[in-house]
Amino acid sequence: ASKLLFAGLFFGIVILWLSTRSSSSVEQKVIIREKYVQAPPAPTQSDVPLRYEQSALTDQDYEAMIAQDEARIIPGLGDEGAACELEDPEELALAEKLMAKEAFNIVLSNKISLTRTVPDARHPMCKNQRFSNNLPSASVVIIFTNEAWSTLMRTVHSVLNHSPPHLLKEIVLVDDFSDREELHGKLEYYLRTRLPADKVKLVRLPERSGLIRARLAGARAASADVLIFLDSHCEVVVQWLEPLLQRIKESRTSVLIPIIDVISEKNFEYSHVHSENFEVGGFTWSGHFTWIHVPEEEKIRRGSAIGATRSPTMAGGLFAIDRNYFWEVGSYDEQMDVWGGENLEMSFRVWMCGGSLEVMPCSRVGHIFRPFHPYTFPGGKDTHGINTARVVEVWMDDYKRLFYMHRNDLQTVDIGDISARRKFREKMKCKSFKWFLDNVYPSKYIPDEDVIAYGRVRNEASTPNFCFDNLNHDSDSNYNLGIYGCHNTLETNQLYSLSKKGELRREFNCVQAPATKSLSVEKATLVPCHDLLGNQEWEWNKRGQLKHKASGKCIDIENVHSEEDVKVAPCSDSKFQIFQFEHVLIP
């Protein structure tokens, strides 16, 4: 046994050394115990948790470890969600180093009490809410893979401390094949000695399953009326549970999201989103989740600042759903791996198949947003991309064209079999993606539908022909309109459209110019569309000029070379002011 320990230690040191060399190797699997070198057990169809062989450590060892954890705690540190700081240079250096492994400041987290307090930043009206005295019960499912001890246990304690015992039936911890010693024997010892045995269940997955299958296993093991999923690095705010349960009691097919506050990964400060200005979920045509403002119509429809607020999509990690409804509405796509895409899948599916997604503003949960994934992606796959391709193939109908315009590469990648999901959609007679866009997310800009013209915007006088090009700028940053040789096929870099309203735009950004009516030559910039037209209003006239309404000037590329900024100049008869759109829908 001592030989094994030695070999394990040696291996561990080598891996640690490797992982400090480049940030990309952080994602390599850290194998520090001999038994994990063996092939994992064959996948089983059942969800019977397999137990790991007992390690050599005894209860006394675990007791000593827990005592050591407790000795590190600084009483009061981080209370009320205050920002904390390390002072000791050695600790700072260690924290910096461990950041590359955990994606947050673990040294600091270990000093903060597992039961620290967080601020109650709820809307004042939340304090006067009344709840039924017959609310459904909840199973809180917390999945994790190699989560750091202190953040995981802080999540568990926070839920236990802020949930009325009669409503919290159980916490189901799902270990997605962690290989850290402390998440095995020590965790089981802690559950046995420090936590209410009737409340906290532990399910171990026999192989690395990814967050989607881990949540499914948790849902199967859960028995309460309502399922609530949380990530393994959360802290809940007082009375977080009741508004979720109350709403599900009233509306069984509502899937509910708390306001997600931000816990800093660096100093553990709990920053709360303002209760009047929280955001709901949207998506990008490239297949990513994004936050959007609550539309004005929705603020009216919901009736109150703390009313259930409809959200087209959700971030994915934190939500509540009636347990039976979870299965009725298609649970999850079991073939999605590791991370990513399942949140949009569930969002589209719930809306299109008759349910709804709502933010409950009086329920708040803090989450540590980590700057990178501190776990491996077996096989090195782009699971977000592949999972999202599964989403678009099943749910987005012909709108998948817009996704593939961004992710042409995914058209030739094996995304697995999707027939079961398509069959489900058919069987449930779910509505079309167009219905979703028209009814749930009418403000979503469709670059090739809601438009006068779209595609590559070409100037034929230039050699080679230049087209408008965003020159690889981030879609949400401010930048100058550029030009580049026209591509042979339409790619997103050169996708511009003229909206029916008269915006010259991309998915989120509009071309803007100063409204000054002088003879000066100005730059055309791309900034987030403000919807008010004004300095973002354009007209494509019969001559083919793109005329800025507010200044009366025209887009002009005379003497502008590739990859340079486009100008707005007094309109003239210059052929460098004439542009052709690739597709014209309203001549």
Residues at the site binding ligand UD2, with contacts judged by CB under 6 A: 143-145, 147, 176, 210-211, 214, 231-232, 260, 315-318, 338-340, 342-343, 367, 370, 373, 375
| Cβ proximity to Mn ion, 269 vs 298, nearer residue | 269
Antiparallel, parallel or unpaired: β 356-368 and 254-263: parallel
Which residue type is seen at 200?
V
| Cβ proximity to ligand UD2, 214 vs 392, nearer residue | 214
> Distance between CA atoms of 494 and 486, rounded to whole angstroms?
8
Which range of residues in 3-11, 93-101, 229-237, 577-585 is near Mn ion by CB under 5 A?
229-237
**Polymer length of the chain:** 587
- Partner touching 415 among ligand UD2, Mn ion, none, CB below 5 to 8 Å by kind: none
Q: Least distance to Mn ion from the beta carbon of 501, Å?
A: 38
Which residue type is seen at 498?
L
Beta-ladder partners of 271: 262
Q: Least distance to ligand UD2 from the beta carbon of 369, Å?
A: 6
> Distance between CA atoms of 66 and 150, rounded to whole angstroms?
11
Tokens of 323: 């347990």
Crossing angle between the packed helical segments 2-21 and 89-102, to the nearest 10 degrees: 90
Q: Least distance to Mn ion from the beta carbon of 176, Å?
A: 13
Beta-ladder partners of 280: 292
Q: Least distance to Mn ion from the beta carbon of 373, Å?
A: 10
| Cβ proximity to ligand UD2, 315 vs 467, nearer residue | 315
Tokens of 132: 């039924």
Tokens of 196: 């209410």
Q: Which helix (H) or strand (E) holds 401?
A: helix 400-406
| Cβ proximity to Mn ion, 231 vs 333, nearer residue | 231
- Partner touching 337 among Mn ion, ligand UD2, none, CB below 5 to 8 Å by kind: none
| Cβ proximity to Mn ion, 141 vs 483, nearer residue | 141
| Cβ proximity to ligand UD2, 95 vs 211, nearer residue | 211
Q: How close are the terminal C-alpha atoms of the chain, in Å? A: 80
CB 386, CB 379: distance < 8 Å? no
Q: Least distance to ligand UD2 from the beta carbon of 389, Å?
A: 14
For residues 469 to 498, the per-residue mask of contacts with Mn ion, x marking binding by CB under 5 A and - elsewhere, is: ------------------------------
Q: Least distance to ligand UD2 from the beta carbon of 440, Å?
A: 19
> Distance between CA atoms of 473 and 450, rounded to whole angstroms?
24
Count residues contacting Mn ion (CB under 5 A)?
1
Beta-ladder partners of 459: 466
Q: Where are the beta strands (DSSP E) in 136-233?
A: 138-144, 168-175, 200-204, 226-230
- Partner touching 123 among ligand UD2, Mn ion, none, CB below 5 to 8 Å by kind: none
Which range of residues in 6-14, 36-44, 226-234, 387-395 is near Mn ion by CB under 5 A?
226-234
Q: Least distance to ligand UD2 from the beta carbon of 271, Å?
A: 14
- Partner touching 143 among Mn ion, ligand UD2, none, CB below 5 to 8 Å by kind: ligand UD2
| Cβ proximity to ligand UD2, 210 vs 287, nearer residue | 210
Buried b (16+ CB within 10 A) or exposed e, 332-362: bbebbbbbbbbbbbbbbbbbbbebebbbbbb
Q: Least distance to ligand UD2 from the beta carbon of 103, Å?
A: 8
CB 529, CB 497: distance < 8 Å? no
Q: What is the DSSP letter of 184?
A: T
Peptide bond into 464 cis (omega under 30): yes
| Cβ proximity to ligand UD2, 203 vs 486, nearer residue | 203
CB 255, CB 331: distance < 8 Å? no
Query: Of 170, 175, 225, 231, which lies in the binding site for Mn ion, with binding defined by CB under 5 A?
Result: 231
| Cβ proximity to Mn ion, 356 vs 376, nearer residue | 376
> Distance between CA atoms of 431 and 449, rounded to whole angstroms?
19
Q: Least distance to ligand UD2 from the beta carbon of 212, Å?
A: 8
For residues 246 to 285, the per-residue mask of contacts with Mn ion, x marking binding by CB under 5 A and - elsewhere, is: ----------------------------------------
Q: Least distance to ligand UD2 from the beta carbon of 427, Å?
A: 26
- Partner touching 373 among Mn ion, ligand UD2, none, CB below 5 to 8 Å by kind: ligand UD2
The CB-based long-range contact list for 2-11 (8 Å cut-off, 24+ gap) reads: 4/34, 7/34, 8/32, 8/33, 8/34
| Cβ proximity to ligand UD2, 175 vs 556, nearer residue | 175
Binding positions for Mn ion, rule: CB under 5 A: 231
